[in-house]
Structures are given as structure tokens and as C-alpha cells.
Amino acid sequence: MTCRDLIRRTAEQFSAAGVPDPVNDAALLLSHLTGLSPLSLRLDEDTVLDYRVVDAYQVLVGQRISRIPLQYILGEAPFYGRLFRVDSRVLIPRPETELLCEWALEVLRNDPLPRILDLCCGSGCIGITLKAEKPDAFVTCSDLSPDALALAAENAEQLGVDVAFCQTDLLDGFATSGFNLIISNPPYIPSADCNTLQEEVLREPRLALDGGPDGLSVYRRIIPDAFRSLVSGGVLMMELGEGEDADVEKLLLDHSFTSVEIREDLSGIRRMILARKP
């Protein structure tokens, strides 16, 4: 069977199973095994694959049909021009969070030697990216999950980035730390909605998704503690769930933050929020 035929047949299987983007996933899985580009494999009508490659490919196909996320099968996900190791210990990095990093780098552009906390760090994609892009920063990645921190440490080592790690429940232990920036993609999905998510998302750690009854429980804990942990003029930046911007803005203003800004993601959703400590 040629590469093109195999991808076409697999895409048909994926489509029947409800897998999103079936052709892309079929090609990426074969690319993972062969080291060849997905596009070249999709166009290849001549190469007959070795049966061992086909057998290994069918194992991966079975995993994808069972709705294991593609990134978990591949063991990696791209983020801000780098590949991060990912598995079921952590949330899969998403493009919306790249925008949050981009905004943070704008904020830090003229800030020498900033102290940064990546709160609820998961894979470490935010903190590691900020350190890689701004080497003069001192970055700490924290998470409640020791498994997530272990994977974040693997990513830092693989990417050659020197960051500190701390296992803690949100800002416990950071009360007077004097950060210039606290940045977070916290759990923000209402608990009742967590069981209705796309099947792939249901494979991701619940701890990184569940934001309590109204999705705002973690914000309510982060905001007052972040105010105490930031230096004067320090910045808190967070990713938001859809429709949560007004409620989170009110929480920030109620806890003495000022200069609140909100930005949209590429879909026009008000996805990111920034506030300053006076």
C-alpha cells in the first residue's frame, strides 16, 4: 500500500469515528513514524511502505480512533516555535496561550531582570518560552501537580532553559516574593461543563480544566494573593474562559488592581486579561 492510499483509507476511518481533521491527523501519524513531511506523504503515490511501518502505524491509528489526543500520541506539541513534550500529565498547549506569551513579552520589553512566576505551569510552555525569549528574566514555574512539574522540568532541560520549579497550591508560599509578572493559564471551565467537552479534551487532566461551579473559583484565589506577591507596578496576566472577562475584571478592580486591559484571541473571544498593582 502506498503512502497516499494509506493516509486516504485512514482518514476515512477517522472521519467515521468522528475524529476532527482526519486527513491531517492521518498524515501526521505517518510522518511521526517515517520522518517524512506530511505533505510529501499525502502526495506519494509510488512508495510502498514496509509492513513493519504499516503495523506500527495501525497501532497509532487505533489510539487516535479511541480519541487519545494526537499530541499525546506524538508525545509533543508545538508552542511559540518550539516543541514541548506533552502527555496525559499536562494540558496540551494551545495557540491562544501563545498570544498570552506574546503580550507578556511586549509588557516586559523594557523591564530589565524581571522576576516572573508561571502559575499553574503544566508543561511549562509559558515560563520556559518567556525565559527563552528573555534570557535576563528569573522565572519560576509552579504547579500543584508533581507529575506536571516533572514533565515541565524535562522540557526545560530539553530546550536548554534555566528556570526554577516549585510545587505549591497556587500562591501558597509566595506571599512576599516580589514578582514583576505573574502569568497564568488557570483552570476556568465550570465543573458541570467539564463532562461535556470534546472527547480529546476529556483525556486531559481534570485538575487543569475544572474552575469550580462557575469557572471562577481559581481566579478568586489567585487575584488577592497575586496582589500581595507582586511588586508595586507589577503585572498579573491570565487567560480567560469565554464570557468570563467582565467577572474577572470586577474581581481585579475589587482587589485594588488598576489599568485593566483585555485582548481577544484569533476567534474574537475576549481571552486574555492584564492588570497592574499600583
Q: 89-276 adopts what CATH topology? A: Rossmann fold (3.40.50)
Q: Are strands 164-167 and 138-143 parallel, antiparallel or unpaired?
A: parallel
Structural domain spans, the chain = 3-66, 89-276
The pLDDT assigned to 82 comes to: 97
Q: Taking residues 23-50, report their average pLDDT.
A: 93
Which tens digit of pLDDT belongs to each residue from 243-276?
Answer: 999 999 999 999 999 999 999 999 999 999 999 9
Which tens digit of pLDDT belongs to each residue from 212-227?
Answer: 999 999 999 999 999 9
The pLDDT assigned to 174 comes to: 82
The pLDDT assigned to 106 comes to: 97
Q: Taking residues 17-32, report their average pLDDT.
A: 96
The pLDDT assigned to 215 comes to: 96
Q: What percent of the chain has pLDDT over 70?
A: 99
Alpha helix positions (H), 18-94: 22-34, 38-43, 51-65, 70-74
Task: For residue 6, name the pLDDT band (cuts at 50, 70, 90).
Answer: very high
**Residue 228 dihedral angles phi and psi, to the nearest 5°:** -75, -30
Q: Report, at the CATH architecture level, how domain 3-66 is classified.
A: Orthogonal Bundle (1.10)
**Residue 229 dihedral angles phi and psi, to the nearest 5°:** -90, -10
Q: Taking residues 130-142, report their average pLDDT.
A: 97
Mean pLDDT of the chain: 95
Q: Is the pLDDT of residue 193 over 90?
A: yes
Strand runs (DSSP E) across the chain, as ranges?
Answer: 76-79, 82-85, 115-119, 138-143, 164-167, 179-184, 230-239, 258-264, 270-276
